A and B are shown apart, each in its own frame.
Chain A
Amino acid sequence: MPKDFAAPANAPWPLVLALLLCSILISPARAVDSEPAPEESTTPQLAYIASDTRIPFWNIMARGIRRQAAELGYGVNIYSAHNDARRELELLATAIDHQVKGLIISPTNSSAATTLIKLASRADIPVIIADIGADSDDYVSYISADNYTGAYQIGQVLTHALETRGWQQGRVGIIAIPQKRLNGQARTTGFMRALHEAGIYNAAMRQQVDFSYDETYAFSRELIDTIPNLRALWLQGSDRYQAALDAIADSGRKGEILLITFDAEPEFLHLIPSGVLVGAAMQQPFLMGEQSVISLHQHLQGQNVEHNQKLPVLAISADNLDENRMIIQRNVLGLETTP
């Protein structure tokens, strides 16, 4: 799931880190925002159509693609559909017109992916679907994060925290992404399994609609106010973690209710160690971009490629943050020099 790159507001070093990230991201963002000129005709060309590279997740993935493509000798055109289906189709038409060797698509949605795959298939262009799924399976490979395992593991982090505090009888509230999404279902299932194994019961679930701060705050307060023994909130997204923290604080339950998330923000690197957050399940978009190019390359080389590939989600808590910091910075935050 792409994540919002909203700047943190309450810490100076995260601010520096954010500025650093922005400075890194601005450059590739330019490259994909406009129609790129085809690279040299002798270099085989790839194209990556992202739903919107203005979103950091896709931007990090695009950098992973570019880095791996360069390593394997491909030129790559990065396109951003700006979350517009028409533009997405137009970009696909452009890619087809440029006779690219392969396509990596992070579609605006799984339905649109089907059309993109079909049109690409008509032009005999192999397609790798990255992160966002497709209603069609006529692709070379679908590379996504292992949401279930990640959620299960971060659930274990939470239950461990609750047990440490002797709050096994407490209840857990969930503010979930829409459960009609496969990744939402996988996250919920994995997390619930962890609770079940620990004998901890969830209290209630609220599904996000507009992913706004207000919505997250309202859901958080509602759960806190209506469930007396609520001891934890789990956000299935990371970008509105501040709304949940504010709700806990406003309800006067700060220190009594734990917060844990799926996905990560750069500031999490210090919020977790400081105990503001118990932990976060972190996807690896940079790694996903690299794996996409590798898989496409293998296909073009005539090698067999696994049709569905699930990349691990890192369950990070204060206990393992330091040992995974380098991985987090590269694969999660894309903090690597682009070739």
Chain B
Amino acid sequence: MPRSPTSPSIFVLLLGIILPTVFLTVASSAAVDYFVSKQRIYAEMQERTSRSLHTLQQNITGLMEAYAVNEYEKILANEVRQDANCAVLVKDYNLGKILGETAYITGKLRTAGSQVLEFEPDNTSHWRHLDNCYYSDSRDILNAAGAPIGHISLYASGAELDARLGAIIRESLLNTLIICTLIVLILLLMTRRFILTPLNAIITTIGNTDKGGIPIQMVPDGGPREVRTLARSINTMITSIRESRLDLQAQKDTLDHMAHHDALTGLANRTLFNDRLNHAIMQAVRQNSKVAVLFVDLDHFKTINDSLGHNTGDKVLNIITNRLTRCLRAEDTLARQGGDEFTILLEGLEDSDQAASVAAKILQAIGRPLQVEQTELYISCSIGISLFPDHGQTANELLMQADSAMYQAKSEGRNDYQYFNIELTQQALERLSLEAQLRTGLLNGELIPFYQPQIDAANGTIIGFEALARWQHPEHGMISPARFIPLAESTGLIHQLDLAIIRQAMTQFASWHHQGFNPGVLSVNLTVRHFQHQTFVETLQQLIEETGFRAEWLEIEVTESQLMTKPEAAINVLQQIHQAGIRIALDDFGTGYSSLSYLKRLPITKLKIDQSFVRELPHDEEDISITCAVIALAESLGLEIIAEGAETGEQVDFLLDHGCRQIQGYFYSRPLPGRKAERFILDYEGLARRA
């Protein structure tokens, strides 16, 4: 754990707190003790001085009366010498009287060097010595009659006081030092024993971490309550962190697995496949071997999804996954790129034929019938093969080229494999270029609606137009819907494309109505993907409002197969559309796997017979049967019926004869641009009026 060089340790902090505190406390106590002792010593000195003075008085009174001057001077000397007084001074009135003076003054001084000197009244330094004495007391000396015969003064030396106070100071300082040292030592030892050691153990344990920074061991649970609480809290945190880390690791593993594997099949995904492909390329470089990438795309899988639903489609994908797995070696990599696309990495190939062998084996395995929920399905696949180092040097190149080869295989009839060649690359580039141009075209308004009229064949009147998207490329001219519609669907541009076409068509229809024309109902094709947008109905209504269109002029065409992928959700959206006053027609009816029960629940107003059933009328018996059945169904459900793709008078007649009056097809007109459609309205109305 990094430690700031300026941060002191707890030990030093405690030392910094305890030492001054103890020192101040003990020093204060010593100071109080000193002053108390000083007062006591001073009182003792006063008392002793007074007592000594009293004793002296008693001892020398008789001597003074007896004129035994030297004797009492000896006593004075002894007093000064023995009791270490500063001085003692006696005034002897009797002797003074004899000597013709007020008093005979005698006494003894004790010098700093403990030398006892005779007091000399004429010596000023002796008087100064008296002045410098610490304390003095005096009293008269009385004879038996009570008359004063002298006066005695005792001067106490401060030396003893100073010495005793000095001793007290030294003793106090020594005691302070000893007590401070002992207390500090005890406190520090106890602190170290009961606080710092457990804390250090905690710190050491915490510092011993794994590479994730989590302590390897649990913190020792010892020491005082607070430290134990801290240790327990840390242990709780460590446990929580470990559990969280396990959870995180599990989530990470899950995410990592999800990031590298396909959720449906459990196969490697694009990312993992690319990693392995890169690794395989490097290994192939080292081993001078070949690597093959097989791009597998199921043929017409969309049809299964659209007709049988995604659940069935998912089961099919899992079955296909198992079959593909059994076709491969353990060291080969099988990945799902998305949808019905699989990629296979074959490493350590000695020649390209090995890849072809695997591809053939896969084609055979996939081609076997599938049994899904009592339904037997037949499916095939197209396989593109690219080789390292023959067809590319990088993983992206190999994948793109395998993809191109796969498209090539599809374009050549599907259920086959195809090696990459340079032409395939050109097609892929064109496809990418077309996508970019489509995006630009949408922005530039190059996608415009063409209008194919829908005619009531019984009376020859126009009942409406179906708006069909057309791309007027500024350089390449008209581009077929067969090229750009699948591209728009695969790239997600179909939503933007449909809305652009609807907006232009509504604007056109509003204009026609404004001009007094009667173009009838505007039919527009919508992919079910629009229904996934929560605000789709609102968007439609907003377009109607913005373009001056009316809801009753609009008819939405949805294909049967798309509706059946998520019928419940589709019903919900269609109900909202129906409630908005918009008609709903079921397009391409008969081509899918329509459930009549759902059909009954759908708020549709019209069925549209797919042109594939009309194309061979009135000669193909099967088409005749289906067409008649659909017409009968519409009649029984009370729905309008319209047939598309009528190109001949026979077909029109057949349909009229069998009760289908609304007809759309080349017989009446090809899809027309706006101005031509307008001309058609004018002309057809004129024809109708003439008829």
Contacts and interface: CB of A to CB of B under 8 A. Distances in A.
Interface string A86-111: 10111001000100000000000001
Contact of B99 (A88, A93, A112, A113): A93
A119 B101 CA distance: 13
A115 interface: yes
A85 B68 contact: yes
B70 A115 contact: yes
A136 B99 CA distance: 20
A86 B99 contact: no
B67 A85 contact: yes
A31 B42 CA distance: 59
A114 interface: yes
Contacts of A214: none
B644 interface: no
A139 to B, nearest CB: 14
A163 interface: no
Contacts of A222: none
Interface in A64-90: 85-86, 88-90
Interface in B95-128: 95, 98-100
Interface in A210-258: none
A135 interface: yes
A93 B98 contact: yes
B66 interface: yes
Contact of B70 (A86, A90, A93, A111): A111
B67 A89 contact: yes
B98 A111 contact: no
Nearest to A123: B99
Interface in A112-136: 112-115, 118-119, 135-136
Contact of B68 (A90, A93, A112, A136): A112
Contacts of B67: 85-86, 88-89, 112
Nearest to A113: B70
Contacts of A113: 70
Contacts of A135: 70, 74
Contacts of B94: 86
A205 B214 CA distance: 108
B99 to A, nearest CB: 5
A208 B98 CA distance: 35
B568 interface: no
Contacts of A114: 69-70, 73
A118 to B, nearest CB: 8
Given A111-B71, A115-B73, A85 B99 contact: no
A85 B70 CA distance: 11
Interface string B57-94: 00000000011111101100000000000000000001
A111 B95 contact: no
A118 B68 CA distance: 13
Contacts of A93: 98-100
A140 to B, nearest CB: 19
Nearest to B121: A122
B95 A89 contact: yes
A97 B100 CA distance: 10
B73 A86 contact: no
B118 to A, nearest CB: 8
Contacts, number: 36
Contacts of A112: 67-70
For A115, A119, A135, the residue with the greatest tally of chain B CB atoms inside 10 Å of its CB is A115
Contacts of B70: 111-115, 118, 135-136
A328 B67 CA distance: 37
A112 B68 CA distance: 6
Contacts of A90: 98
A88 B69 CA distance: 12
A111 B70 CA distance: 6
A113 B69 CA distance: 10
Nearest to A92: B98
Contacts of B66: 85
A166 B442 CA distance: 177
B508 to A, nearest CB: 156
Contacts of A86: 67, 94, 98
Contacts of A88: 67
A89 B69 CA distance: 10
Contacts of B99: 93, 119
B100 A111 contact: no
A270 to B, nearest CB: 42
B120 to A, nearest CB: 9
Nearest to B71: A111
Nearest to A112: B70
A209 to B, nearest CB: 20
Contacts of B69: 89, 112, 114-115
Nearest to B65: A86
A82 to B, nearest CB: 13
Contacts of B74: 111, 135
Nearest to A107: B70
Contacts of B95: 89
Contacts of B71: 111
Interface in A274-306: none
A114 B69 CA distance: 9
A86 B94 CA distance: 9
Contacts of B100: 93, 97
A6 B130 CA distance: 54
A96 to B, nearest CB: 8
A119 B70 CA distance: 11
Contacts of A97: 100
A93 B96 CA distance: 10
A118 B66 CA distance: 18
A90 B68 CA distance: 13
Nearest to A117: B70
Nearest to B66: A85
A88 B98 CA distance: 10
Interface in B540-597: none
A136 B118 CA distance: 12
For B69, B73, B94, the residue with the greatest tally of chain A CB atoms inside 10 Å of its CB is B69
Nearest to A91: B98
Nearest to B69: A115
B515 to A, nearest CB: 162
A251 B306 CA distance: 176
A111 B94 CA distance: 18
Nearest to B100: A93
A180 to B, nearest CB: 15
A97 B98 CA distance: 11
A99 to B, nearest CB: 14
Contacts of B68: 85, 111-112
A329 B71 CA distance: 38
B373 to A, nearest CB: 149
Contacts of A118: 70
B116 to A, nearest CB: 14
Nearest to B95: A89
A115 B95 CA distance: 11
B123 to A, nearest CB: 12
B308 to A, nearest CB: 150
Interface of B: 66-71, 73-74, 94-95, 98-100
9 tightest Cβ-Cβ pairs between the two chains A and B: A115-B69, A114-B70, A85-B67, A111-B70, A86-B67, A115-B70, A93-B98, A89-B98, A111-B71
30 contacts: A85-B68, A86-B94, A86-B98, A88-B67, A89-B69, A89-B95, A89-B98, A90-B98, A93-B98, A93-B99, A93-B100, A97-B100, A111-B68, A111-B70, A111-B71, A111-B74, A112-B67, A112-B68, A112-B69, A112-B70, A113-B70, A114-B70, A114-B73, A115-B70, A115-B73, A118-B70, A119-B99, A135-B70, A135-B74, A136-B70
Given A93-B99, A114-B70, A115-B73, 19 more contacts: A85-B66, A85-B67, A85-B68, A86-B94, A86-B98, A88-B67, A89-B67, A89-B69, A90-B98, A93-B98, A93-B100, A97-B100, A111-B71, A112-B67, A112-B70, A114-B73, A115-B69, A115-B70, A136-B70
Interface of A: 85-86, 88-90, 93, 97, 111-115, 118-119, 135-136
